[in-house]
RNA sequence: GGAGGGGUCGCAUAGCUCGGUCUAGUGCGCCCGUCUCGAAAACGGGUAGGGUAACACCCUCGUGGGUUCAAAUCCCACCCCCUCCGCCA
């Protein structure tokens, strides 16, 4: 959520940004609502002040006649207040809803562009491997090695679900453990969080009200399944004021992630690239505003470390304005190479949200003892999303004899140096 | 799911029976001052968040409604915590 005062004072700037973001929001409606709200507020506050003062007098009053007269007068004032309050509530609800629909403003460094075709490739790291034998996609490798079972996954849960066996399951677990270890070494505190949250938490991170169609939720109770650990981790400090010295806070968590993906039915149906449930290790940061930029680059570096140590070829892509997510001011993706399908696979998004989420979730900090609270800056980045890392390992590390070599850093966690054979 | 108890200004508590004297008392913690060579103690003062140009005024005593001229206090619904029972990995 943007600061209403910022919109009021810079409406043209906000509108220009929306054009760059290739989106729309009802700014004029917000401006009108803001004016009406402030008018109504000052009226109703004056009336309330009068009623408060006179009511206090009534309590001390001896003379019955004037007392009754005042009570009658205040009854009228009360009716006026009620009328204005009713209108005010409507105006405020509308204003709040419009405000929640306005995306974050892009960072000045973000390249301007219409859509993902204008994203900027920042750098490419590692060599794309060459093979002197016919290479196969991961779904063939996985089935042939007996470590991925699509049929039974579908039997259990429907399309886009699968089962891992043996060293396939172990690879998944090894990756989770190893990734957590790496990030803990980098200074992140591990947390374990609920996988279902209240709607309020989803609003805090920006998933609701706009993107509810991508989420699973319980029909009877107010439980929403997290699409990423970012949601519970960011909401840890919702409605809190962090005292001086608490920042920066770095957290890392492993969670499963649940996504409806209904927008992309028919796309990426083969293999494990896009499922309704997947594992992810995620980092979040809470920092003071002046460190936003440097914290974003170190976050990206911390996430890249995973791809580097796995020796997977990867590239960094910066989102242009037209491809920026609703809440992000700036965002870099990490994409690893999938040799079998010959494509880059998105395994991480590292984003700076400035104070956008913090304002929604009401997460503040006190810069100095006794100082007024300010909104924190939040950041998050995947480190990394599991299934696509598994794809990249299976496809890049496949051998002519049909086996798959295990990356060096994972061997202690796997207990073997290859799958199959 | 059932029965009972409870959610108050950082922490601990008072207030709710009988609505106005609550601009929410007290203790602890913290900050400032007096005293002191300095400190402790003692004493005095201050100590939430939001709206706002504002130490004016308004809002917030779990949340949301209601009654009333006036609600921490009365009524209704919901949420959370504790104790006991039931169920359960």
Class of domain A116-419: alpha beta
Angle at A173 between CA A167 and CA A174, to 5 degrees: 80
Task: Answer whether any strand B atom is within 7 A of the Cβ of A93.
Answer: no
**Residue of A8, A67, A260, A274 marked active site:** A274
Per-residue pLDDT at A209 exceeds 80: no
Q: Do domains A4-100 and A116-419 have the same CATH topology?
A: no
User: Is the model's pLDDT at A265 over the cut of 60?
Assistant: no
What pLDDT score does A272 carry? 92
**Cα A375 to Cα A62: distance, rounded to the nearest angstrom:** 51
Beta bridge partners of A404: A398, A419
Quick one: pLDDT at residue A211? 83
A136 catalytic, yes or no?
no
Q: Is A51 a catalytic residue?
A: no
C-alpha span between A43 and A84 (Å, rounded) = 8
Nucleotides of B under 7 A from a protein CB: 20-21, 23, 49-52, 57-59, 65, 68-70
Strand B–CB A110 distance below 7 A: no
A389 closest CA partner among A322, A335, A323, A340: A335
Answer whether any strand B atom is within 7 A of the Cβ of A54.
yes
Q: Which of residues 188-247 of A touch strand B (CB under 7 A)?
A: 241
What is A4-100's CATH number?
1.10.287.40
User: A108-163 pLDDT, tens per residue?
Assistant: 999 999 999 999 999 999 999 999 999 999 999 999 999 999 999 999 998 889 99
DSSP string, A193-232: --SEE-HHHHHHHT-TTTTGGG--B-SSSS-EE-SSTHHH
- Cα dihedral A247→A199→A349→A404 (10° resolution): 110
A346 is catalytic: yes
Residue-wise pLDDT tens digits, A396-419:
999 999 999 999 999 999 999 999
A345 pairs with which residues across the strands?
A: A336
Residue A263 has what pLDDT? 55
pLDDT in tens, A55-68: 888 888 878 888 88
Proximity of residue A367 CB to strand B below 7 A: no
Domains of chain A, by residue range, sit at: 4-100, 116-419
What percent of chain A is modeled with pLDDT above 70? 99
């Amino acid at each position: 959520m943007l600061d209403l005062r910022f919109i009021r004072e810079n409406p043209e700037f906000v509108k220009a940004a929306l054009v760059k973001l290739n989106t729309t929001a009802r700014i004029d409606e917000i401006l009108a609502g803001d004016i009406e709200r402030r008018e109504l507020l000052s009226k109703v506050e004056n009336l309330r002040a009068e009623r408060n003062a006179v009511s206090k007098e009534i309590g001390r009053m001896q003379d019955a006649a004037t007392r009754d007269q005042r009570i009658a007068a205040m009854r009228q004032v009360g009716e006026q207040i009620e009328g204005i309050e009713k209108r005010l509530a409507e105006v405020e609800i509308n204003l709040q809803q419009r405000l929640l629909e306005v995306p974050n403003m892009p960072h000045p460094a973000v390249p301007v562009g219409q859509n993902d075709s204008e994203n900027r490739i920042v750098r490419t790291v590692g060599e794309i491997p060459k093979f002197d034998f016919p290479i196969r996609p991961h779904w063939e490798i996985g089935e042939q090695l007996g470590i991925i079972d699509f049929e039974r996954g579908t039997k259990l849960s429907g399309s886009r679900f699968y089962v891992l066996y043996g060293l396939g399951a172990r690879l998944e677990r090894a990756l989770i453990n190893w990734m957590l270890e790496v990030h803990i070494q980098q200074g992140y505190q591990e947390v374990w969080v609920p996988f279902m949250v209240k709607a309020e938490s989803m609003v805090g991170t920006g998933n609701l009200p706009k993107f509810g169609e991508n989420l699973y939720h319980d029909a009877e109770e107010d439980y929403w399944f997290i699409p990423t650990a970012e949601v519970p981790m960011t909401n840890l400090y919702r409605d809190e004021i962090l005292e001086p010295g608490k920042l920066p806070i770095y957290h890392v968590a492993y969670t499963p992630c649940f996504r409806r993906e209904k927008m992309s039915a028919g796309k990426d149906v083969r293999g494990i690239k896009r499922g309704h449930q997947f594992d992810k290790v995620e980092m979040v940061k809470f920092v003071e505003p002046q460190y936003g930029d440097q914290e974003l680059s170190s976050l990206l570096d911390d996430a890249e470390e995973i791809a580097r140590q796995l020796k997977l070829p990867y590239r960094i892509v910066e989102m242009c304005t037209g491809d920026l997510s609703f809440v992000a001011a700036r965002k870099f993706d990490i994409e690893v190479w999938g040799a079998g399908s010959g494509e880059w696979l998105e395994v991480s998004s590292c984003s700076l949200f400035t104070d956008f989420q913090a304002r929604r979730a009401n997460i503040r900090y006190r810069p100095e003892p006794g100082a007024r609270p300010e909104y924190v800056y939040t950041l998050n980045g995947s480190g990394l999303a599991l299934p696509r890392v598994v794809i990249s390992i299976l496809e890049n590390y496949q051998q002519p004899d049909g086996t798959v070599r295990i990356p060096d850093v994972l061997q202690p966690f796997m207990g073997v140096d290859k799958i199959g054979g």
